[in-house]
Structure 1
């Protein structure tokens, strides 16, 4: 069947819209636990360290599935992997609402991570299947911006649902919403345009051992690790910090959390435009400058005397790190062979999810050891932000031309 350019253009934006919706609901289910741990810890009598272990148990399995899911999407196509992922994570979101103890939460959240772990890298494959190379940074930035929308809505929705119906019912509602998304995907998600045909017929798919020889991937993994230490650390503990230290109620906390996320949303979109139009071959500067903004903002946040300044500095940190993370996640789509995008993206996401394993538990342990003070926990995040700055300055892409897209990176031997 021949597809006209206009029809193909409409189809790729339908795919992108559905993927964005998936990322938003993905964040609903992922972030809800950060709000729910406040009543959960009271109900089950959990310490900060135990809360950190619950949050980290998800990221352990989530990290393991990143490269596996990407490789499966490269082999079988993104649609099948995405569908299975959405169904699995929705079922385990519902089961989270049935948890009855600390141990049951650990097990359910671990299984939840397995279900959800394939979605990020599979969605990157769907972008590569649907968009030509010179449009992928903007497409990926739109996907990344959807995560900020998810973060905004998730905190607000989770706080409201938990307060009105209880945390158990909240997870059931969110899980059912995910199953509805799976029905939409089954009917409408078909990322099989001309880019997909080109990618799947390509003979330049790199095996994992050759991907691991590409120094850029290791650097991007380290960069994403540092950024994710901050993102997951803040996402996991800022709700508790604002309620316990700054004495806000849960709904007010959720409303204020939306301000940094909204600014991050616009930053991510602007960064995607710059990456396609102005910064080809110069991506390292966006990563390093964004990291410096993050370091300064996090330090000022840790010393802020008022809630207003806390939110202000958190917003500046979101702007800097939003630019850095968008750049990091789009680089595989521009510099790696289309037939290996899933595996390459999965390796980079692996670095971020390792940070997700470490950050919540490490911060919880520090908060407990310092008798409820968050100072040491914030210093952990400041130190982590230095990683993308240092490593980012060593990136080499081999192209400074705006007119022609750079060639795919090949393994160094």
Structure 2
């Protein structure tokens, strides 16, 4: 439009004008992602009581727990395509209602197979959440602020690991384990309704966003390239497309140790009491959130160009690997916890670069790239804990497992040599 240059000039001179984008990210995306994370945490925490009540074997319980992750992973790319086709407002509201419904009926699976089906359907419903969330931030934030926007999204995800366990235990003690799923489902429905009511696919279409804020957001975006959608061959032929997915698999291999095995490691390998494990186990996740916010701010204010961010991601992998090894060989529990906090905190610095890279690398295909990347990550969320468990069994101790996970960090660092988000797939596909 003819008036756009004038508006953009005003927007650049007053970047603080309007806070609609921050209210969206902090007031809606963060809570939606937090509740989604809590829905996942709930089954893991109540698993011992759940398995006892329904007489499930360890093998059956592991199938119930991992069935969610397989479905969630395999439907990431379809979820991204649907978010791009129908818009994040519609898809995230629908996904929220879907996963809330299957969260609510989780206690009523009755039989082993019934619980597996419910968890599979829950994973399918949640699969659209992440691509739709990444697309929302891509549309609502200029590139110079996207890392801080992404940090709010990641904060919601990881708060589930910090708050989830004690909250689920408390609700279970007071109301019973089934009430956990009923309460989380009710909150999910409310958030889905608020999302539909308050969010628009584009900032300029929102009645609460001023013309100045909309122009400021638009002024910081890469120019739209238009043209037909990229064919699948353009993705398959891109080394970047494969590298961004593979590096995330290596990242989640490391992170899955903290997600699944850290409590067991602290109690069995380090002799930490069950009570002390509860608060010690949350410390690395606090470090992760600190790494996410710290790198998000550094990205937007200092590391404004991708070569510097790529080097930061590669370095974050190596730092995470080094401190994981130091933690494995440390004989002091307090010093070990410092090393583990630094390791997972470094994982957080890489997480910020991953999702900013998906947005810039994908351009208008950002949801597809985000879904592809999350597909690799969630496959590792299902397979990573099994890999770690096998290594512990082979080596007879945890040191072999932690050193092997550190090796994944080195491989992830190498993958970033092939990622160049400043060269988007659209440009490569048109070349």
**TM-score when scaled to structure 1?**
0.85
Deviation at 1:346, TM superposition (A): 0.9
What are structure 2's unaligned runs of at least 5 residues?
205-213
Which of 210, 220, 230 is equivalent to 1:206?
Answer: 230
Kept in 1, the 8 Å contact 2:51–2:57? The answer is: yes
- Size of the aligned set, in residue pairs, is 404
Larger radius of gyration: 2
**CA 1:193–1:397 in 2, change beyond 3 Å: closer, same or farther?**
closer
Structure 1: segments with no counterpart, 5+ residues: 400-405
Q: Quote the residue 1:22 is aligned against.
A: 32
Task: State the Cα distance separating 1:50 from its structure 2 match.
Answer: 4.6
Native 8 Å contact 2:361 2:420 kept in 1: no
Cα distance, 1:137–1:91 mapped onto 2, change above 3 Å: same
Is 1:85 equivalent to 2:95 in the alignment?
yes
Match of 1:314 among 340, 345, 348: 340
Q: Distance in 2 between matches of 1:309 and 1:44?
A: 41
Q: Which residue of 2 aligns with 1:351?
A: 376
Relative distance call for 1:25 and 1:220 in structure 2 (3 A) is same
Counterpart in 2 of 1:277? 301
Given that 1:334 and 1:408 are in contact with CA atoms closer than 8 Å, whether structure 2 keeps it comes out as no
Aligned to 1:301: 327
Question: For residues 46 and 250 of structure 1, do their structure 2 counterparts lie closer, same or farther at Cα, with a shift above 3 Å needed?
Answer: farther
What is residue 285 of structure 2 aligned with on the other side? 261
> Of the candidates 99, 119, 124, which is equivalent to residue 114 of structure 1?
124
**Alpha-carbon distance in structure 2 between the residues aligned to 1:361 and 1:119:** 26
Whole-angstrom CA distance in 2 between matches of 1:276 and 1:206: 29
CA distance in 2, matches of 1:88, 1:244: 38
CA deviation vs aligned residue, 1:85-114 (integer Å, no higher than 9, x gap): 111111222222334454333322211110
Q: Distance in 2 between matches of 1:164 and 1:307?
A: 33
1:225 to 238, 249, 255: 249
* 2:19 match: 10
**How far is 1:172 from its partner?**
2.2
TM-score normalised by L of structure 2:
0.82
Pairing partner for 1:137 from 123, 136, 147: 147
CA offsets per residue over residues 204-240 of structure 1, 9 Å max, x none?
6433332333321211101111111222342122234
Q: Which of 271, 282, 292 matches 2:318? A: 292
Q: How far, CA to CA, are the matches of 1:204 and 1:62 in structure 2?
A: 29
Q: RMSD across aligned C-alpha pairs, in angstroms?
A: 3.3
Offset, 1:27:
1.0
* Closer, same or farther: CA 78–94 of 1 in aligned 2, 3 Å: same
Q: CA–CA distance in 2 between the matches of 1:251 and 1:189?
A: 42
